[in-house]
């Protein structure tokens, strides 16, 4: 992003912050209660009380003006602020001129200026000030007609001409009236500008709604106004003003204990309206985003920004704060009560941030443990972050238990931190197992089962924690005070944290048990079968010393196939369903005359003679068919060559096409000849006839020419 674009983005946010500040002031200032106080104080004759309804109308006009400032395009907003700045400069020039006239009246000197040093100093100071005001006004308004802003120079010119002081007072008033008339003329000449802007904006909004819809319009306004950054800047300004006000009114230094209380009370003061609450929500979201970004950078460095996860944007923490604040009626409480409630809400937000940090760190730590990366710095960063996530939630839970009395709501809040610590502990144990396996010369055969047991253990602990929370809540509901909200929370917590976890755990257990039963039901490949197979495992690409044979006659490592069956119940190669069958009895004798059961893949070497002869006859027929196809291909190739020889007068494109046909036919001829030799060899060796015939049936015999 170029520097100009950055400045425009900063201006787009900074120029709209006063509109939110104005909304905040208007919300806090209750006009009706203000006039009721005036009426109770027996000041009915006060002129201010006579303009009660006018003040009410101005109150609503202020809301409209704030919304206009908030939604005005940036170019028009900059122009409006320049006009306001010019008006302020003209007012400053009027103040300088009035102060000079008062100074001259107090001195009473009407002689030449050079004879009185004090009068000369006052004149010089006022003249420089007025010249600066005129120059700034002409620069801001981008005009060379500097005389339009020089009316306040008239009293100075009159004093230089030795005009009496009473006349100078009149001239000063005339200059003020003249400047006011200029401002009124400018406003009258631009009176229709707001109407034209509103008309243009309405036309554009209607077109956008017709073409893209309301949702696209809302997203466009959200991106153009940059509302999250705008509300965050507004809240930070409000919070800084609150801190400055506190320290400017106190002379004594603040203790460490009072700093935490000051922090909470300042936040509580800055979320007393819906606008400031939204500002706090977006501020918390950006703080969470910053913490999660630092966590990614600490673990992975600059590589973390290449594959950024859209799930960790900090919006979860902001939405959590907003829901809890609305549910508990935060803005309606007193400041002290609001501060204590905010401490609990912020604890929940911090627990959510820690959970998001764990979601970022968990796959990185496990991948680092499973890889062969020996960088000590990477391992130190991963382990140190996990230790922080293990200790800090427990410390937070201990501290909040020291401040508040234990009840059902506090137990639910603490349980999230306890679950985070348990998850980190499980991640560290798996990381240690991976590192132990890395330092061993031979891999641990049952490492997958050990990892499953570790995961199952801390998942069981999580389930027990959730179950204890539900049991405590039910006992408090039965023997204590019953509320609809408490019962709803217990029901939701029971469904999501107890029932769903129990269901997922049971399904995982059944899936593993079914996979183990399937592996046990499959026959084990003999050493002779492994030698004939002469291939690696299709899952791990390692040599096979022991393996199992699937019903579809594929051979895999038993451990590799079991891991595969944990995920899906199909063959890794042909994707046929693998169903568990009871293993056949070793000494079972089939009754005489009964149909012979199909042989297992382990007995493929003992194929019956009649099956070999049948396969050999099929191979012989296929060889004869292949000879016929070879002869046809030879005839087509010869014809193509003759066509090429006879194409002496044909164009180059036709000759190249015929040559390509001839080359293609020759290649097919050679392929058919080699296939025929292979089939004849298989026919002469009936022992391998069955396997060759099956491969011949599985492949395409010959494409149609």
Contact 84, 72 (CB under 8 A): no
Which two tokens mark 511? 């899936």
CA angle centred on 177, ends 176 and 181, rounded to 5°: 120
In this structure, what token pair is assigned to residue 626? 């292949």
The C-alpha atoms of residue 325 and residue 252 are separated, in whole angstroms, by: 34
Backbone angles phi, psi at 549, to 5 degrees: -115, 125
- Report the alpha-carbon distance of residue 352 to residue 416 in Å, rounded: 8
Identify whether the C-beta of residue 89 lies closer than 8 Å to the C-beta of residue 140.
yes
| 599 phi/psi in degrees, rounded to 5 | -75, 150
What token pair was written down for 423? 């998850």
Measured CA to CA, the distance from residue 612 to residue 686 in angstroms comes to 6
Tokens of 592: 């005489």
SS3 assignment, position 417: helix
Structure tokens at 216: 């696209």
- Chain Cα centroid distance, residue 499: 29
| C-alpha to C-alpha distance for 36 and 40, rounded to whole angstroms | 6
Could you identify the residue written with the tokens 């690409």? 541
Placement of tokens 């910053």 in the chain: 290
490 contact partners, CB below 8 Å, separation of at least 6? 470, 473, 474, 477
537 annotated active-site: yes
> Which residue is catalytic, options 271, 537, 560, 571?
537
- Residue 620 makes CB contacts below 8 A (sequence gap 6+) with 683
Q: By C-alpha distance, which of 434, 431, 399 is closest to 414? A: 399
- List the one residue out of 461, 319, 470 whose CA is nearest residue 408: 470
Contact 38, 48 (CB under 8 A): yes
Please report how many Cα atoms fall inside a 13 Å half-sphere around the Cα of residue 557, on the Cβ side. 16
| 573 three-state secondary structure | coil
Beta-sheet pairing, 548-549 with 555-556: antiparallel
- 619 near 682, Cβ under 8 Å? yes
Cβ contacts of residue 452 below 8 Å, gap of 6+? 512
Nearest Cα neighbor of 694 from 587, 622, 638, 633 is 622
Paired tokens of 52: 């009660």
**474 Cβ neighbours under 8 A, 6+ residues apart:** 490
CA–CA gap between residue 137 and residue 82 (Å, rounded): 9
Cβ atoms within 10 Å, residue 245:
12
User: How many Å apart are CA 342 and CA 399, to the nearest integer?
Assistant: 15
User: How big is the CA angle at 242 (ends 240 and 247), to the nearest 5 degrees?
Assistant: 95
Check the CA dihedral 619-623-629-633 and report its sign.
Answer: positive
CB 517 within 8 A of CB 580: yes
Residues assigned a catalytic role: 537
């Amino acid at each position: 992003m170029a520097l100009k674009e950055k400045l425009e983005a900063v201006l787009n946010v900074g120029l709209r912050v006063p509109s939110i500040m104005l909304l905040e002031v208007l919300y806090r200032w209750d006009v009706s209660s203000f006039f009721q106080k005036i009426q109770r104080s027996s000041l009915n004759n006060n002129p201010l009380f006579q303009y009660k309804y006018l003040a009410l109308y101005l109150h609503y006009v202020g809301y409209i003006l704030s919304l206009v400032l908030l939604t005005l395009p940036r170019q028009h907003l900059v122009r409006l602020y320049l006009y306001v700045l010019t008006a302020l400069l003209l007012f400053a020039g009027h103040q300088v001129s009035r102060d000079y006239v008062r100074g001259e009246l107090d001195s009473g000197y009407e002689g030449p200026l050079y004879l009185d040093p004090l009068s000369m100093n006052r004149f010089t100071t006022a003249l420089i000030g007025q010249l600066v005001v005129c120059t700034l006004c002409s620069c801001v308004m981008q005009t060379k007609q500097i005389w339009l802003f020089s009316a306040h120079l008239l009293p100075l010119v009159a004093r230089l001409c030795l005009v009496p002081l009473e006349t100078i007072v009149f001239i000063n008033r005339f200059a003020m009236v003249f400047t006011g008339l200029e401002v009124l003329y400018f406003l009258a000449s631009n009176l229709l500008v707001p109407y034209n802007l509103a008309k243009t904006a309405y036309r554009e909004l209607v077109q956008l709604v017709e073409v893209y819809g309301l949702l696209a319009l809302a997203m466009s306004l959200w991106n153009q106004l940059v509302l999250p950054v705008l509300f965050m800047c507004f809240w930070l300004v409000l919070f800084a003003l609150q801190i400055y006000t506190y320290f400017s009114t106190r002379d004594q230094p603040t203790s460490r204990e009072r700093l935490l209380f000051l922090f909470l009370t300042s936040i509580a003061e800055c979320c007393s309206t819906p606008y400031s609450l939204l500002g706090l929500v977006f501020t918390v979201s950006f703080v969470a985003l910053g913490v999660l970004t630092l966590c990614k950078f600490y673990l992975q460095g600059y590589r973390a920004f290449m594959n950024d996860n859209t799930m960790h944007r900090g919006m979860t923490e902001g939405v959590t704060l907003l829901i809890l604040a609305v549910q508990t009626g935060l803005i309606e409480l007193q400041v002290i009560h609001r501060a204590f409630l905010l401490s609990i809400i912020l604890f929940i937000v911090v627990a959510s941030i820690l959970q998001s940090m764990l979601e970022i760190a968990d796959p990185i730590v496990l991948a680092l443990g499973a890889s062969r990366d020996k960088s000590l710095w990477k391992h130190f960063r991963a382990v140190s972050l996990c230790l922080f996530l293990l200790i800090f939630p427990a410390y937070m839970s201990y501290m909040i238990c020291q401040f508040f009395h234990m009840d059902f709501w506090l137990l639910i809040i603490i349980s999230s931190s306890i679950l985070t610590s348990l998850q980190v502990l499980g991640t560290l144990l798996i990381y240690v197992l991976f590192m132990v396996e890395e330092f061993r010369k031979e891999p641990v055969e049952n490492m997958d089962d050990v990892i499953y047991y570790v995961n199952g253990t801390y998942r069981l602990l999580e389930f027990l924690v959730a179950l204890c929370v539900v049991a405590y809540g039910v006992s408090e509901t039965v023997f204590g005070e019953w509320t609809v909200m408490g019962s709803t929370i217990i029901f939701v917590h029971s469904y999501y944290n107890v029932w769903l976890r129990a269901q997922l755990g049971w399904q995982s257990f059944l899936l593993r048990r079914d996979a183990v039963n399937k592996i046990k039901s499959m026959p084990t490949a003999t050493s002779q079968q492994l030698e004939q197979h002469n291939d690696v495992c299709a899952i791990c690409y390692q040599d096979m010393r022991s393996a199992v044979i699937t019903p579809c006659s594929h051979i895999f490592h038993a451990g590799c196939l079991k891991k595969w069956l944990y995920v899906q119940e199909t063959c890794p190669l042909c994707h046929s369903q693998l169903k568990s069958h009871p293993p056949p009895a070793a000494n079972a004798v089939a009754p005489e005359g009964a149909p012979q059961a199909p042989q297992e893949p382990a007995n493929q070497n003992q194929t019956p003679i009649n099956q070999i002869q049948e396969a050999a006859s099929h191979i012989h027929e296929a060889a004869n068919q292949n000879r016929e196809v070879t002869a046809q291909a030879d005839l087509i190739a010869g014809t193509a060559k003759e066509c090429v020889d006879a194409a002496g007068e044909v164009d180059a494109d036709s000759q190249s096409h015929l040559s390509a046909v001839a080359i293609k036919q020759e290649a097919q001829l050679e392929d058919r000849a080699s296939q025929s030799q292979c089939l004849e060899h298989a026919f002469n060796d009936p022992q391998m006839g069955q396997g060759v015939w099956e491969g011949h049936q599985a492949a395409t015999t010959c494409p149609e020419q």
